Amino acid sequence: ANGIVHVSAKDLGTGKEQAIKIESSGGLSDEEVEKMVNDAEQYAEEDKEKREGVEVKNQAETLIYSTEKSVSELGEKLPEEDKTKIEACCEQLKKSLETEDLDAIKSDLEALTQASHKMAELLYSQQAEQQTATAEQGNEDSQDGDEKSDKDDEDIVDADFEEVKK
């Protein structure tokens, strides 16, 4: 409560003891505290705007990175038209980041988000089609397997058992 900390430690094996005492060298007066609170309230809106700007920029940089990575990983799976549109949106967003115009960054961020969503939609629809085709082929194979397993099931004998505990 008074800003003083006193700590001591004793080694029981050797009997040596060390101690440290930390005291506050001086405190702030009530006027200084009040001034700091007023400054914080005065600059709260400005700080909020700066924070929002930094968050939007970070979000834009993250989206650019992840989108470019996805485009390079997809390669030929992505149609050239979509690839060109996404790359153009990335470049526009990079230019907006350089100008630091928050409204431009937000609008370009939204455009790139929409373009990347279309890319993801396309990718997942292709994936779903492949899974459907694979599942249909798997169903045909399992039906053939069921016919074979019916013949194998004829030799099954039910048995009862008891567990003997020692």
Q: Which residue range forms the structural domain that includes residue 43? A: 30-137
Instruction: Check which CATH number belongs to the domain holding 127 and give it.
Output: 1.20.1270.10
The DSSP line for 22-88 is E--S----HHHHHHHHHHHHHTHHHHHHHHHHHHHHHHHHHHHHHHHHHHHHHGGGS-HHHHHHHHH
Question: Does the residue 148 lie in any domain?
Answer: no
pLDDT at 107 over 90: yes
Q: Which residues pair with 20 in a beta bridge?
A: 7
Please report whether residue 73 resides in a domain: yes
Q: Is the pLDDT of residue 83 over 60?
A: yes
Please report whether residue 151 resides in a domain: no
Report the alpha-carbon angle 58-61-63, nearest 5.
105
Calculate the average pLDDT of the chain. Answer: 83
Residues 6+ apart with CB under 8 A from 60: 93, 96, 97, 105, 108, 109, 112
With respect to residue 104, please indicate whether it lies within any of the assigned structural domains: yes
In a domain, 10, yes or no: no
CA 69 – CA 71 distance, rounded (Å): 5
Counting other chains too, the contacts that 29-34 makes at CB distance below 8 Å and 24 or more residues apart are none
Indicate whether 158 belongs to any domain.
Answer: no
pLDDT exceeds 90 at position 6: no
What is the total count of domains within the chain?
A: 1
Is the residue at 95 inside a domain? yes
Max mean pLDDT range (24-28, 33-37, 149-153): 33-37
The answer as to whether 71 is a domain residue is: yes
